[in-house]
Amino acid sequence: MSDTPFHATVMGRRFIEYTAPELVRQLTRVADALERLIETQRPEDPAAEPATTQGDPDDQDRHHEDPGPDEA
């Protein structure tokens, strides 16, 4: 290993000056796009929203699976 700290290397400077800020910009874009998607999927009338059930969705799926050929 080199005694040179990462931030003092060419790759370290590139990461700090370009890669990390670009990652933040792209994550911001993803978050903004996700918010817009959620807004377009949300019903206009809050009373029209279907009732949601509480609990683990995977747990609900396990209880409502079709019986296999041995269980029919």
Q: What pLDDT score does 21 carry? A: 98
Q: What pLDDT score does 2 carry? A: 79
- The pLDDT mean for the chain works out to 81
Q: What pLDDT score does 72 carry? A: 46
- The conformational region for residue 55 under phi > 0 = left, psi -120 to 50 = alpha, else beta, is left
Range of the domain at 35: 1-43
User: Is 55 domain-assigned?
Assistant: no
User: Is 33 domain-assigned?
Assistant: yes
Distance CA 29, CA 36 (A): 11
User: Is 14 domain-assigned?
Assistant: yes
State mean pLDDT over 31-42: 95
User: Is 30 domain-assigned?
Assistant: yes
Could you give the count of Cα atoms lying within 13 Å of 30 in the half-sphere of its Cβ?
6
Distance, CA of 63 to chain centre: 26
Q: What pLDDT score does 33 carry? A: 98
User: Is 52 domain-assigned?
Assistant: no
Q: What pLDDT score does 42 carry? A: 83
- The pTM (predicted TM-score) of the whole model is 0.53
